[in-house]
Amino acid sequence: MTQSEAIPRFPTSIGTSDPDRITLLGQDLAADLMGKVGFGELALWLVTQQRPTPAQVRVFEAVLVALADHGLTPTALAARLTFLSAPDSVQGAVAAGLLGGGSRFLGVTEDTGRFLADALAQAGDPRPADDASWDAIALAAVQRARADGKFVPGLGHPVHKVTDPRTPVLIQIARAEGLYGAHLRLFEAIGRIHPQVLGRTLPLNGAGTCGAALADLGLPADLLRGFALLARTAGLLGHIAEEMRRPIGMDVYLAVDHNVDYLMPDSAPNP
């Protein structure tokens, strides 16, 4: 048994407590936050460690509302099937649902924010003043993506082929709150110019618009997926609560089970 080594200090600005007081973000949780701060407001504050303005909170909550649910998606089904198998562990069902929050379905918000931020960094200062100049930046960014064989994130939607109804509403909210900034502006320019590069007209989708709006709140791209996960947690709880009341998990399983084709490994046509 040797002497313990000294360990480093662990700095945090999130929370601490003593017998009489709980401190969160430097505030007195009970006296200053509970009943006075909304949950969306607190979530944004926790991530940035800066108190958001009411305008920022309104845009932020509109984004969370826009992203909370998309019906019986693969991630909602994963949560419901996990709840079916392990009803004693609600946290496991929520976690299983969140684990689908990766590149394909939940990544658009983050990818769009990053794409726009990169394009703005590339364009440099000062920011242009008229639409024509924004269109030029957009065109350069889309052409660069095309040349690199990359997708332009935030374009297109499997259901909303012409207009994603969330897009104009979110842009209008951002404008009304004075938070329509460079990222949303560039995103709209991409909406105008992409047909001349891609050869077809795609809608600006809601998840991408959310990424642009969050970026205009000053949030870095690395954090955007986290907000999509927070929004989705509310949706997953809705699905789990509905599964408790009117379950479909067993029927999903049986629908698959009754339609399995068992192929002997040899005959399996693996390309």
Contacts of a second copy in 99-128 (CB under 8 A) = 99-106
Binding to a second copy, residues 47-76 (CB under 8 A): 47-50, 58, 61-62, 64-66, 68-75
Which of 53, 55, 90, 202: binder of a second copy (CB under 8 A)? 90
Residue whose CB is less far from a second copy, 91 or 129: 91
At residue 153, what are phi and psi to the nearest 5 degrees?
-70, 155
DSSP-assigned beta bridge partners for residue 24: 15, 27
251 contacts a second copy (rule: CB under 8 A): yes
Q: Is residue 151 a contact residue for a second copy (CB under 8 A)? A: no
Q: Which stretch binds a second copy (CB under 8 A): 117-125, 133-141, 188-196, 255-263?
A: 255-263
Of the candidates 126, 147, 148, 270, which one interacts with a second copy according to CB under 8 A?
Answer: 270
Considering only residues 14 to 33 of the shown chain, the ones binding a second copy according to CB under 8 A are 14-26, 28-31, 33
- Return the number of the residue (70 or 144) whose C-beta is nearest a second copy: 70
> What DSSP state is assigned to residue 204?
B
Go through the chain and tell me how many residues it has: 271
Is residue 84 a contact point for a second copy (CB under 8 A)?
yes
Binding residue (CB under 8 A) for a second copy from 54, 126, 199, 269: 269
- Residue 210: how many CA atoms within 13 Å on its side-chain side? 29
Closest CB to a second copy among 139 and 234? 234
Tell me whether residue 197 or residue 234 sits nearer to a second copy (CB atom).
234
Instruction: Output the smallest distance, CB 154 to a second copy, in A.
Output: 17
What sign has the CA pseudo-torsion 10, 13, 15, 21?
A: positive
DSSP result, 215-245: HHTT--HHHHHHHHHHHHHHHHHHHHHHHHH
Query: What is the C-alpha separation between 216 and 245, in angstroms, rounded?
Result: 40
Is 8 a binder of a second copy (CB under 8 A)?
A: yes
Q: Which of 91, 121, 124, 126 binds a second copy (CB under 8 A)?
A: 91
Nearer to a second copy, 38 or 196 (CB): 38
Distance of CA 188 to the CA centre of its chain: 19
What's the rounded Cα separation, in Å, for the pair 140 and 118? 12
For a second copy, the closer of residues 66 and 116 by Cβ is 66
In terms of Cβ atoms closer than 10 Å to its own Cβ (0-12, 13-18, 19+), residue 231 is buried
Report the residue number, 90 or 140, with the smaller CB distance to a second copy: 90
DSSP 87: T
Residues 168-197 that bind a second copy (CB under 8 A): 168-170, 173
Q: How many CB atoms lie within 10 A of CB 76?
A: 22
Contact predicate 17/23, CB 8 Å:
yes
Longest dimension (CA), the chain: 72
